[in-house]
Amino acid sequence: MATQIRPNIACSDAEWEARQELAACYRIFDLLGWSESVYNHISVKVPDQDGAFLINPYGLLYSEVTASNLVKIDIDGNNIGASQYPVNKAGFTQHALFHRQLHWANAICHVHTTASMAVCSLEAGLLPVNFYACNFIGRLAYHDFEGVTVRDEEGQRLLANLGDRNILMLRNHGPVVLAPTLPSMFLQMWALQRACEIQMATLSMGQPVIHIADDVVAVHQRDLRQVAVPGSAPGATDFAAWVRRIDQIDRGWRD
């Protein structure tokens, strides 16, 4: 594994690429209003180093995250990089669990957006009442609120409730989105956020709500692949577009 000296850090080409992609994702989340002061997390596995992943420095706003100040930790929470920043235990405990146990979960986010937390606080959760919601009906898992996720013993219940799904709605708390790639995770988070925003707006109108029939939901999910960009990996085109957008604002995240 060749190590290259970057402006502020020494790492492999593969790690540097992962760092830049993750830093971009933090800036995009911030631009979209999905950040939560210095809390919440997006993490990715280091592609050429088993048992290592990157996460945000605890104490920095998402708008302050850069490729070089991301913290590299092992699956046990030890800082194995050069960062002097700590890691929020709530982020490490939950994200490390999924990175350790799920070989395909290379990218994970957890957010506290108003809309997604509101939907997680409804007994029925996400309802089949809009276009974006149809993407997820029957594909979400739910986990009852147990307080701040800092206790290891909650881990087995998180995994059991996730089952074979890739989105876990933490009730009264917020969603966790897991995916093989960061762009794929981003696209699913974007669509889920839109579904929650529209549901929140719809229910606030005080009118009878039309629920989309199960057979229509099934057709919608079957046909989703037909609207994907040909030859593009899931979420890649969307993510690249938002990277261009944040570059127009500030390219400092790349350092």
**Helices within the chain (DSSP H only):** 13-31, 89-101, 114-120, 131-134, 155-162, 182-203, 214-223, 236-249
Q: Answer yes or no: pTM beyond 0.85.
A: yes
Buried-state track 159-173, b at ≥16 Cβ within 10 A, e below 16: bebbeeebbbbbbeb
Any idea what DSSP says for residue 79?
B
Q: CB-based contacts of 122: which residues, under 8 Å, 6+ apart?
A: none
Per-residue pLDDT of the chain (255 residues; tens, 9 = 90+): 455 556 678 889 999 999 999 999 999 999 999 999 999 999 999 998 999 999 999 999 999 999 999 999 988 888 887 778 888 877 677 888 899 999 999 999 999 999 999 999 999 999 999 999 999 999 999 999 998 877 778 889 999 999 999 999 999 999 999 999 999 999 999 999 999 999 999 999 998 899 999 999 999 999 988 887 887 899 999 999 999 999 999 999 999
The C-alpha torsion from 83 through 42 and 25 to 81, rounded to 10°, is 20
> Can you read off the two tokens belonging to residue 207?
């009118």
